[in-house]
Amino acid sequence: MPEFSTQPVGSSLRIAVAIVQHNGKVVIGQREQASELAGFWEFPGGKIEAGESIEQAAQRECLEETGLMIQALKVLDETRFEYEFGVRTISFLACRCLDEDPLPKSPFRWVELKDLGQFQFPPANAAVLRQLEASLLDHSE
């Protein structure tokens, strides 16, 4: 999960988020109660480390959080969002799963892409969620 709570108040972080899709599903997990944005659902991701590319950060964070090996394909969206605890510049990357039997570690799980609207995500995710919803509409025609 993104490491929001480890930074001083008002800090600015660059975050890489993996939108991992497989067979019409996407990986999400619910944030722990003791964390910033507790109870919200999220895609795997976290802080981009020094010397790390956005793609490398997304792959590393996804492996650490879910146990899944992924390949980052392209940037879907980039946003800068100001939370009460600091500014986050977030890059959302479309990713594909490289595992043959992709079973993510808890609290992450696969959900149908069409069901994402049933989950409450942090406000910074709004644009990428609209984009994912629009891609479903494009495929249904």
The C-alpha atoms of residue 12 and residue 10 are separated, in whole angstroms, by: 7
The better pLDDT of the pair 32, 81 is held by: 81
Judge whether residue 1 has pLDDT over 60.
Answer: no
Q: Which two tokens stand for residue 72?
A: 């980052």
Q: Are 18 and 75 in contact (CB under 8 A)?
A: no
pTM of the model: 0.85
pLDDT band at 139 (very low <50, low <70, confident <90, very high): low
Work out the average pLDDT over 12-37: 89
Judge whether residue 9 has pLDDT over 50.
Answer: no
Q: Which two tokens stand for residue 123?
A: 């406000």
Work out the average pLDDT over 105-109: 96
Domains of the chain in sequence order: 4-140 (3.90.79.10)
Sign of the torsion angle spanned by Cα atoms 51, 56, 57, 60: negative
**H or E segment to which residue 40 belongs:** none
The better pLDDT of the pair 2, 14 is held by: 14
Exposed, middle or buried, 88 (CB in 10 Å: 0-12/13-18/19+)? Answer: buried
